[in-house]
Structure 1
Amino acid sequence: MNRVMIAGTGSGCGKTTMTMAFLAACSRRGLRPVPFKCGPDYIDPRFHETVTGRTCRNLDLWLMGEEGVRRTLQTHGAAGDVSVVEGVMGYYDGVGPEGFASAHELSQKTATPVLLVVSVRGKGLSLCAQVQGFLRFQPNLIAGVLLNHCPKGMAQYYRDLLWQRLKVQVYGYLPPTPDHTLPSRHLGLVQAGEIEALQQIIERLGATAEETLDLEGIMALAQREDLPVAPRVDALHPGAFQGLTLAVSKDEAFCFYYEENLELLQEAGVELIEFSPLRARALPKAADGVILWGGYPELHAEAFSKNESMHRALKEAAKNGMPIYAECGGYMALHESLVSFEGQRWPMAGVFPGEAKMTPRLQNFGYCQLTARADNLLCRTGESLAAHSFHHSVSSEPSDVFEAHKLSGSGEYRSHRATRRVLAGYPHVHFAGCPQAAARFLTYCRTYHKERTHGLD
């Protein structure tokens, strides 16, 4: 399976733009690139999907485990001509002094060659020192570099410089392109669907990259053997939960989900019905359970606050024992109110007492291990889950379902709240890394299905 990683020297160096440019150029040549994203990011994958028309899947060593990552990359990458993996942060940046779950570790675990994106802005010979540092820091699979912010007239100068001093090959460049800049906000890039001129940006990037990237050289570099993958054996085996129906949120406010979470549920036989918490007046009638994903409820608080019909539907579902699992933004929506960055208080669904309040900084950011302090929809007492938190809001009410141990070693905190069959909290999980948790949730849904269809208590 052909594969290549586009990594960077750090956040903001241009990884996403370079990845989009390469994907677009491949598509213009009639190739079938399959996009992947290193780490837990929800936003960058939507850009890759817009470019290629193909699903972009995450590859996260903490959330999915090494075998889960290899299986996802091999299974889905084999469907195209080349798998293109965008790195995360700087190439070596991960958890702790060893850089766990970094782009570097992912490339090593999957034997994926790496092209390092380096901005040449404001650099001359110092560019060589920077690249040499990445090459010598520790064993790696860096096979060449891609130059960002490089004027056409300077491309040959940098190419010669890096070859003469380091024998490092340059596989292309992107010139300064202010009109290609992707806007950002507090959780990262603005979502792909919100950028009106995105298709024009993609077309310009693809046309530029066809001229400035060595596509043939990169495709030759990408030629690699298939990854050995063990067959999946877990509680989410095909058809295990045939006949169940889940309502899953999907709109501009509740859209942070891993595509593979949905696929694993469907493989287990579950029918998924998408609904918009912002616009739907009720939950789907066939639903045996609800999943409220994270997203940007703070940006759409006014719209959700006015959907009182949905507020009542969620409260009634919880009261009647329908299993509801909510992550991050979904958890925020289940509070009585949400306080925006500006201090405006908006009514929410009111499944849980208290308010979610936006703050200027990230709260409990990063990977964590959740250990259950009590039985809940996902775990029995004492069982653990790999998770990731990325949010600016805080709840006014205490959490007590899980003990969260930060992987960085920087502390512990309590996570999640629960009622009879509702579990909600800020951390996100990936079902590929915890199929038993997804199966436990579906077991509760199956019980509810029997209760509502056969009148059982």
Structure 2
Amino acid sequence: MSLVIAGERSGVGKTTVTLAMLSFLSRQKSKVQSFKIGPDYIDPMFHTSVTDRPCRNLDPILTSEAYVRSCFASHCQGMGYALVEGVMGLFDGVASSGENKGQITDFASTAHIARLLELPVVLVIDCSRLSGSVAAIVHGYRSLDPRINLAGIILNRVGSDRHLTLLKNALEPVKIPILGILHRQDEIAIPDRHLGLIPSAELNHLETLFDRLAHLAHNSFDWERLLPLLKVYSSPSPPVPQSPSPPVPPSPIKIAIARDRAFNFYYQDNLDLLEKLGAELIPWSPLEDAKPPEAACGLYFGGGFPEVFARELAENHSAREAVRQAVLSGMPTYAECGGLMYLCEKLVDFNEQTWSMVGILPANAAMGKHLTLGYRQATALDNSLLFRAKETVWGHEFHRSQLTSQPQPPLFETRGCWVNSPVFLEGWRFQQVHASYIHLHFGTQQAIAQRFLARCLAFHKENRLG
């Protein structure tokens, strides 16, 4: 079994509660596997830092319901405990068709994943502006969908003992277990900025934070009730069989992957799949290294925060020129969001300062106040590095920058997942470059990884590298 940490809405403290539980269990030397529902990158970084084990994303839009089951089952094997952090409010999802389920109005929500994996839910409630009304909230969440096993609640941001008494008295008729009580914690806070929490790699004293969270969890949660819910008692059902993979090349295909404070948005499943298919992922830093690794025959730039480190990226002239020459030489290059911004001519930051970037894409990336956010159905307009014409894939956008020039020729025609959503032309494709704001998960799209590695292998052979 495992446990889903859900919220009655966004911002109620799901991540704090999850990290507190993970910190406590990890300091007990327990083997803990964590999961995050949705397309999030930053929360999983914190999970991974706590448990020293990669957090896995559970997203049936980017993958499928079958993939979510398979991912959960395979990564729970051999674990002592497992914990799933939800997304937004418990029932916040989209209207979509599930596999063999007809229409699901809360598809990809926390509730959907809890039903799909048959897991109990603990609901986190922000009590800072509540007293008697807490009972109505709990009653509503427990009653709305009887398929949800609401195992208990955690009262967060309780102001005082008097406040707690009011909450408990109100909840008495509802008869639901209170599994945790967290008072306001001004000394425990994770700083954030324009796209959410600041990534763990940028924060000092993480271990001190996790120690405080472990102490908080020890004193605030009902572990006698929680541990049986969190414990993995037996091996889950075997994973769903995957489609056969092509033969692994005799020697690894070396891919230079940008991994530093500016570029760190990667789904662990994508990296695992590339390695399974024969890639050797060699980390390097566009912030600090003079150039990508010599033996690389492909470049992989994930998302991140190049706008925060624009000065450092611009001042590393040798790295920018080395990347530019590699791309011009025909080296296959995959760039998502922040990676796309790095390949542009200029980056204009929030202070309206302009910084030189690699200069491969004839456009500038300018930061703004408007947030572009949501799932996207992307259809390839022509053959490209990774796609065949008219192929369709689901991805996710999350950025505050906009390009000053439209891509010529564009890579995708995109639309949102809501009815009558507008159509946009998006992404750059030329030579051996795929550059797009769309974040992709390779889990049910192995052809993406296969084609990328095939192009990298061909480049390797043509240039007789290594």
Query: So what's the TM-score if we normalise by structure 2?
Result: 0.92
Match of 1:440 among 441, 451, 458: 451
Q: Does the 8 Å CA contact 1:367/1:408 hold for their aligned counterparts? A: no
Report if the CA contact (8 A) 1:9-1:116 is conserved. yes
Of Structure 1 and Structure 2, the greater strand share is in 2
* Whole-Å separation in 2 of the counterparts to 1:247 and 1:85: 31
Counterpart residue number, 1:27: 26
Alignment match, 2:239: 229
Whole-angstrom CA distance in 2 between matches of 1:198 and 1:191: 11
Q: How does 1:252-291 map to 2 (within 5 A)?
A: 252-291=261-300
Alignment-derived partner of residue 228 in structure 2: 220
Q: Distance in 1 between matches of 2:402 and 2:106?
A: 28
Give the aligned partner of residue 68 of structure 1.
Answer: 67
Superposed, 1:6-405 pairs within 5 Å as 6-96=5-95, 98-139=105-146, 140-151=148-159, 153=161, 154-155=163-164, 158-159=167-168, 161-162=170-171, 164-222=172-230, 226-235=236-245, 239=248, 242-363=251-372, 365-399=373-407, 400-405=410-415
The alpha carbon displacement at 1:31 in A equals 2.4
- Long gaps (5+) in structure 2: 96-103
Note if contact 1:46-1:191 (Cα within 8 Å) is conserved in structure 2: yes
**Distance in 2 between the 1:218 and 1:152 partners?**
24
Asked if the contact 1:149/1:177 (under 8 Å) is kept, the reply is yes
Q: Give the total of aligned pairs.
A: 451
**Distance change in 2, residues 1:66/1:241 (3 Å):** farther
In structure 2, distance between residues paired with 1:40 and 1:430: 9
**Contact 1:336–1:349 (CA under 8 A) maintained in structure 2:** yes
Secondary structure at the aligned position of 1:87 is classed as strand
Q: Does 1:429 align with 2:440?
A: yes
Contact 2:37 2:84 in 1 (8 A): yes
Amino acid at match of 1:14: G
Q: Look up the equivalent residue of 1:135 and give its one-letter code.
A: R
Moved more, 387-396 or 280-289: 280-289
* Closer/same/farther in 2, CA of residues 454 and 85 from structure 1, 3 Å limit: closer
Change (3 A) 1:172 1:292: same
1:228 shift after superposition: 4.7
- CA deviations on 1:223-255 (whole Å, 9 max, x unpaired) are 5762452221144x5726853111111000011
Matched position secondary structure for 1:297: coil
Distance in 2 between the 1:211 and 1:227 partners? 35
- Taking the aligned partners of 1:213 and 1:329, their CA distance within structure 2 comes to 39
Runs of 5+ consecutive residues of structure 1 not aligned to the other structure: none
Structure 1 residues 336-370: Cα deviation after superposition (integer angstroms, max 9, x where no partner): 0011111111000001112011111212x100111
Partner AA of 2:125 in structure 1: V
Alpha-carbon distance, 1:450 to partner: 1.2
- The C-alpha deviation readout for 1:292-345, integer Å capped at 9, x for no partner, is 111000000011111121221122111111100100000001010011111111
- In structure 2, relative to structure 1, the CA distance for the partners of 1:92 and 1:234 (3 Å cut) is farther
Q: Tell me by how many angstroms 1:28 deviates.
A: 3.1
* Secondary structure class of the residue paired with 2:443: coil
Give, in whole Å, the separation in 2 of the partners of 1:227 and 1:85: 18
Distance in 1 between the 2:292 and 2:73 partners?
37
The code of the aligned residue for 2:452 comes to: F
Distance 1:135 1:241, change over 3 A: farther
- Of the structure 1 ranges 143-152 and 186-195, higher mean CA displacement relative to structure 2 is found in 143-152
What's the CA shift for 1:156? 6.0
Q: Distance in 2 between matches of 1:192 and 1:174?
A: 23
| Residues 1:228 and 1:408: Cα distance change in structure 2 (over 3 Å) | farther
- Aligned AA for 1:218? L
Deviation string for 1:389-448 (max 9, x for gaps)?
Answer: 000111112131111121123322111101110110101001113111111111111111
For 2:86 and 2:208, locate their aligned partners in 1 and report how far apart those are by CA, in whole Å: 24
Shift of 1:151: 4.8
Amino acid in the other structure paired with 1:187: L
- Structure-2 separation of matches of 1:261 and 1:196: 28
Q: Secondary structure at the match of 2:265?
A: coil
8 Å CA contact 1:305, 1:347 repeated in 2 = yes
Counterpart contact for 1:24–1:202, Cα < 8 Å: yes
Inter-CA distance 327–191: structure 2 relative to 1 (3 Å threshold): same
Q: Secondary structure at the match of 2:139?
A: helix
CA distance in 2, matches of 1:311, 1:454: 21
Structure 2 residue identity aligned to 1:167: K
State the 1:449 CA deviation.
1.2
Give the aligned CA root-mean-square deviation in angstroms: 1.9
Residues 1:133 and 1:454: Cα distance change in structure 2 (over 3 Å): closer
Runs of 4+ in 1 over 6 A off after TM superposition: none
CA distance in 2, matches of 1:454, 1:59: 38
Residue 435 of structure 2 aligns to a residue whose secondary structure is strand
Asked if the contact 2:262/2:308 (under 8 Å) is kept, the reply is: yes
Q: TM-score, normalised by structure 1?
A: 0.94
